[in-house]
Structure 1
Amino acid sequence: MNILSGFFSEDLAIDLGTVNTIVYTPTEGVVLNEPSVLAINKYSREVLSVGAQALKLLGREPNDTEVRRPIRRGTIDDFEISQQFLRTLISRVQHHDHPKRSHLVIGVPGSSTPLERRSVKDAARDAKAGRVDLIDEGLAAGLGAGLDFDYEQARMVVDIGGGTTNIAILASGGVISSMSLHAAGNAMDDAIRDYLRLRYAVHFGERTIERVKCELGSACTDNFDARFDKQLEIVGKQLANGAALPIVVNAREVRSAIEPVLAEILAAVRRVIEDASPEVTADIHYSGLILTGGGALLHGMAGRLQSDLNLQVTVPEDPLTTVALGAGRLLSDPERLQRASLRLDVPAWEQSEKLVVNW
């Protein structure tokens, strides 16, 4: 048995996020939490660095280096890059240059298509995974937030990540309904960048926009909130002549910029509740919703959901790791994992991106 154990690693639960990737093992807990960024050599395609080290190069890449994000809007953006990224992370967790065959449980958006799910599964298998199970991120977030497998009343989970917002209604350890939309952290970044570009005719880099969102972003509707007195000086590149230009942006500007994204998230939550059965709606009225993901850290987000939806909102102690923790709970329960695993055996016409009919 000791000899055989050397060929296989312990199981891994992975939250393959657009912004961050988190890896969890049942024996050690969260063992890796890194930005979903990969730096590769342009010519040899060799992996130079991943995670925080690669993120440092973003916007300042040497001429022989590419810095890529393998995941966009919750799905595989580049298959080869994603495979390299996963293989490098697994090697780091296993402390081995050549990854061993392992069992991976990966969270995917609830509205992901069979093609998108298959691309995640294939990338993981090419990264030397022996078995891959995909689960709904909404279910994983709920379990990671502490929901009981046997709790029969319906609970709503809103997981606002970087690429997608996942909205799920759960009961008895299963998914009643689930949907995902692209209104999330990256959409807020895009909205802030577009506003500054139009307002000041200045272009800003990705890391600067992220800093503006974290320091000035707010979902609060109270105009007297002290947050709105904050200002931040940032330096961008003028569109007219390419010269550097410092500007001072305030929190009120940032709130107005991201408001359409927040409104889209709220509208989606309302639609999910409207489509639910009367019994589920009653359960949600009494139990409220659980807010997870990086969006839970946005100033005033929980209060905004609570006031606009008239529901009690609960935020876990660490909302960033709930998907990985929930996937890890399923790793420890094979029977429930089999039930929760998303199936890929769909009709052929659903596996194609488009159905072409020649009349």
Structure 2
Amino acid sequence: MFVKDIGIDLGTSNILVYLEGSGIVINEPSIIAIDTKTRAVIAVGEAAKLMEGRTPSNISTYRPLKSGAITDLDMMEKLISALLAKVPMIKKRKIKRVLICCPTNNTNIEFKTIQDIGAKLARNDVIVERESKVAAIGAGLDISQSAGNMMIDIGGGTTDIAILSLGDIVSSVSLKIGGTDFDNDVLNYIKKKRNLIIGQQTAERVKIEVGTVYLGIKNDTIKITGRDIVSGLPRSTEITSQDVYMACKEKVGYILQAIKSVLEITPPELSADLIEHGIILTGGGAYMPGLRELLTEELQLPIHRAEFPLECVIKGTELLLNNAYIISNK
């Protein structure tokens, strides 16, 4: 008895898996913990994330996806295998079809790497689709019509921007900038401005709890603790929404510039459609306070956030695998 189909969203921050008949069965961080001596898998997903920055010398945590690209194929395969093993209904090599999503402008080598991973899972078809197309479908856009639709998918490691019409991508760009980069910017800003070293998880918490990309939309404060650069001792400080704004300002500017570059090469007839339909935001970055206000001000277009931004890609795989749209596998 074969499991008919699965869809996989290989996110830099999280991996999501759709199983036909069961919906989303996996939604866990893209992290794996390994025993450095035996190379045995200690933990994956949520359990591995809890270990990040806290492990003894014989255990290391890895994020095999960076900026949407697989940087460690062996770790990636181990991570996926261990996550799938958590779902009893999924039996390796008994999967009929697997659809895996990749960033819009992945290189041929990156595309082939993803296909190779799929080939080790599926008995028959391996399909690789562009994230921007799949996210748009999962967000509820009808891209099969001639009208133009625009989506911005801000994930953990990449930002995909695309104009879609007649079932495919008309113009697009993919930046290797995402939520993880904002975390790093917060971390580095605090180190530079406050002489305080903090961990990745603390930086992410600061971004989520007090972050904004538009001044005045949020004015919150959070107290954090780290290691003083000079004394080496633990020390606490307060971080404000303005601090996060300043830390992330440069990367947000890059994303805005990329959006404008896509709009500039969009055919006039499709540009006219965007005034009516607006732009839809997907991915974890869609939750960033102030983003809609910033884009509305800069682009003078309606900006909408998908109902479930984090699940748009995996929801799109479900629709594609159920033949709601034609799968191109380009």
Q: What interval of TM-score do these two structures reach, taking the shorter chain for normalisation?
A: over 0.9
- 5+ unaligned residues in a row in structure 2: which ranges? none
CA distance in 1, matches of 2:122, 2:149: 36
Query: Which structure has more strand as a fraction of its residues?
Result: 2
1:193 corresponds in structure 2 to 187
2:313 corresponds in structure 1 to 323
Q: Letter of the aligned partner of 2:139 in structure 1?
A: A
Instruction: Provide Cα deviations, 1:181-225, integer angstroms capped at 9, x if missing partner.
Output: 02221121121111111111211101000000001111223x3x4
Equivalent positions of 1:195-344 (< 5 A) are 195-221=189-215, 223=216, 225=217, 227-228=218-219, 230-333=220-323, 336-337=326-327, 339=328, 341-342=329-330
- 5+ unaligned residues in a row in structure 1: which ranges? 343-359
8 A Cα contact 1:91 1:99, kept in partner:
no
Between stretches 127-136 and 180-189, larger displacement belongs to 127-136
Matched, 1:70 2:64: yes
**RMSD in angstroms over aligned alpha carbons?**
1.7
Equivalent positions of 1:14-29 (< 5 A) are 14-29=8-23
8 A Cα contact 1:35 1:52, kept in partner:
yes
CA distance in 2, matches of 1:86, 1:208: 26
Classify the secondary structure of the residue corresponding to 2:25.
strand
Instruction: Provide Cα deviations, 1:297-341, integer angstroms capped at 9, x if missing partner.
Output: 11121221112111111111110000011111111118711x2x1
Classify the secondary structure of the residue corresponding to 2:57.
coil
**Number of aligned pairs?**
330
Identity among equivalent pairs (%):
33
TM-score w.r.t. length of structure 2: 0.95
CA distance in 2, matches of 1:237, 1:320: 33
8 A Cα contact 1:76 1:82, kept in partner:
yes
Equivalent positions of 1:162-181 (< 5 A) are 162-181=156-175
TM-score w.r.t. length of structure 1: 0.87
2:113 corresponds in structure 1 to 119
Instruction: Provide Cα deviations, 1:18-63, integer angstroms capped at 9, x if missing partner.
Output: 0011111231221111111111211221212111111111111133
2:98 corresponds in structure 1 to 104
Q: Which structure has the larger Rg over C-alpha atoms?
A: 1
TM-aligned CA deviation for residue 93 of structure 1: 2.8
Distance 1:53 1:155, change over 3 A: same
CA distance in 2, matches of 1:175, 1:331: 19
4+ residue stretches of structure 1 with deviation over 6 A?
Answer: none
8 A Cα contact 2:6 2:95, kept in partner:
no
CA distance in 2, matches of 1:12, 1:262: 34
Classify the secondary structure of the residue corresponding to 2:51.
coil
Q: Letter of the aligned partner of 1:301 in structure 2?
A: L
